[in-house]
Amino acid sequence: MTFDRFKGGKLPPRRRMGVPALGDFLDRATSWPVVPPQGWEFAVPKDALNILGNDDWGCCAESGYLGLLQAQSYNAGRPLVPTTAEALALYSAVTGFDPNAGPPDENPTDNGTALTDLLAYAQKNGVSVGGRPHKLIGSASVDISSVAQMRWAAYTFGGLYLGLNLPAACENSVNWNFGSGEKIAGGHCVDLLGEGAVGETFRSWGSFIRGTWNFALGYLDEGYVLITEDWLNAQQKTPSGLDLDGLLSATKLL
């Protein structure tokens, strides 16, 4: 199946050296944090959200990356508002996409992105938002079978960068609470921005969408924390229970 209203574009998971498992550096973690108050995930106002070209092009990985960077920036008190032009420029830089090669649905260069390819590019080159580069220090995969680890990771790093095999029904729903067995439209990249009183919040297609952990456990196929300069500088301390120096050292192996 293919997407109808919007676009996907996430390619199947691709393992890459330099993306270690977050759990390997959590030996000293003894407890998971209290879920933050509802509202943390909504730090970005709705009028600052942008679909970032993912209605026309298969740039969900780029849209998701910039969306998570935006969420981190608002929670860190230094708001960024990425643009469609910046998302498409990133798509071109990572994959060779050429918007002039043809219109949507007929463009031979619009082939989607492997999330780890984008992470490698962002770590090496930085990503331009608001006229300046924002460097990715490193990234780490999360255990997508562990709700506890994903909650801790989202809380600690300001959100998660996730890949799903997305059910077609999600295109017309504002509540992703589907159980297993749904028909899959294709690969899609979303952000997990936090968890309020009734469930977690995804950012996709320029909107906040409620979801359930059962949905996430049923359809996720990869997930990452993004260790950015903006986020760590704002925290001013090493996350409790995490061997951050060891983790950052492991991410140097591109």
- In tens, the pLDDT along 18-62 reads 788 988 887 655 566 665 555 567 788 989 999 999 999 999 999
**67 inside domain:** yes
What does the pLDDT read at residue 75? 83
**182: containing domain:** 22-250
The ranges of the chain with pLDDT < 70 are 1, 27-40, 195-199, 233-241, 252-254
**16 inside domain:** no
What does the pLDDT read at residue 254? 43
**15 inside domain:** no
**4 inside domain:** no
**2 inside domain:** no
**7 inside domain:** no
- Give the CATH number for residue 190: 3.90.70.10
End-to-end CA, the chain: 34
SS3 of the chain: CCCCCCCCCECCCCCCCCCCEHHHHCCCCCCCCCCCCCCHHHCCCHHHCCCCCCCCCCCHHHHHHHHHHHHHHHHCCCCCCCCHHHHHHHHHHHHCCCHHHCCCCCCCCCCCECHHHHHHHHHHHCEEECCEEECEEEEEECCCCCHHHHHHHHHHHCCEEEEEEEEHHHHHCCEECCCCCCCEEEEEEEEEEEECCCCEEEEECCEEEEECHHHHHHHEEEEEEEEEHHHHHHHCCCCCCCCHHHHHHHCCCC
What does the pLDDT read at residue 192? 93
| Residue partners of 46: CB distance under 8 A and separation at least 6 | 208
**1 inside domain:** no
* Number of domains the chain is built from: 1
**64 inside domain:** yes
